[in-house]
Amino acid sequence: MRIDVLTIFPQMFDVPFSFGIFKRAIDQNLISINVHNIRDYTHDKHHTVDDYPYGGGPGMIFKPEPVFEAVEAVKARIPRESGAAEPPVILLTPQGRLFNQQIAMELSEYRNLVLICGHYEGIDERVVEHLVTDEISIGDYVLTGGELPAMVVIDAVIRLLPGVLGSEDSAQEDSHVNGLLEYPQYTRPAVFRGWPVPEVLLSGNHAQIARWRRQQIIQRTLERRPELIDKSKVSQEEKQMVEQFTALDKAKSSLNKEPEE
């Protein structure tokens, strides 16, 4: 996959992609990430990328001309077979559709992605209407620009590409792929500062371990992210089993408590 990123802060992308899994994937030519400075597509002496908002208001707005010219130049340089679909042009914006694993999987099917990172108070709406094909937000909190969201999207997408992660199936096992949270994990020592690893995991009984993990997955998801359960394939029977289990557990621990004053 080839990813082209447009930004006024290209150096922000140097560090995250110089390490570990990304570096290896880039070195192996599984992905290429090309970062372009939007300022290079201005024509005035001061390389102006922003201007005041029409109608007044706080802050500055990205001008449309440099963004259009940058996207058009970058798209022209993407090698494409004749008849191949145009690459999506994605704007990171608080107004976009909320990013999730489903969207990451959808984007991982493309040969090319073009990402636009804005700054200031936003981008001229004509960029959104006539250049951008997809608007994405990584979550309902306020950031200063689209660079960190772009890195989040790139991370989530490229780890799904074949060969990027060491073992082929580890991307499939992750939480949110099956729509639920993960079970708790432990490694040695078996007792750390007096806190033991759950006994079942040391038992060597694989069927019992699998049952315990499944129960933990459902219990945690019920407690922490109940909205995920409704969308998932957990059976009514399984939910009831875990709810009974949890109720029993709570009853037991309240029996063990010191009586209150």
Residues found near ligand JFT in the complex (CB under 6 A): 92-94, 96, 118-123, 137-139, 141-146, 149
Q: Across 63-145, where does the E strand assignment appear?
A: 89-98, 112-116, 134-137
Q: Can you give the C-alpha Rg of the chain in angstroms?
A: 24
Residue number with CB closer to ligand JFT (53 or 214): 53
Work out the angle at residue 143's Cα, subtended by the Cα atoms of residues 142 and 149, and round it to the nearest 5 degrees.
115
Residue number with CB closer to ligand JFT (49 or 234): 49
Q: How far is the CB of 205 from ligand JFT (least distance, A)?
A: 45
Question: Do 111 and 30 form a contact (C-beta atoms < 8 A)?
Answer: no
How far apart are the two ends of the chain, measured CA to CA in Å? 65
Q: How far is the CB of 138 from ligand JFT (least distance, A)?
A: 5
Question: Do 30 and 164 form a contact (C-beta atoms < 8 A)?
Answer: yes
Residue number with CB closer to ligand JFT (127 or 234): 127
Residues involved in catalysis: 94, 121, 159, 174
Query: Which residue has its beta carbon closest to ligand JFT?
Result: 118
Q: How far is the CB of 171 from ligand JFT (least distance, A)?
A: 23
Residue number with CB closer to ligand JFT (19 or 141): 141
Taking residue 206's Cβ as centre, other Cβ atoms within 10 Å add up to 8
Separate counts of helices (H) and strands (E) for the chain: 9, 9
Q: How far is the CB of 103 from ligand JFT (least distance, A)?
A: 12
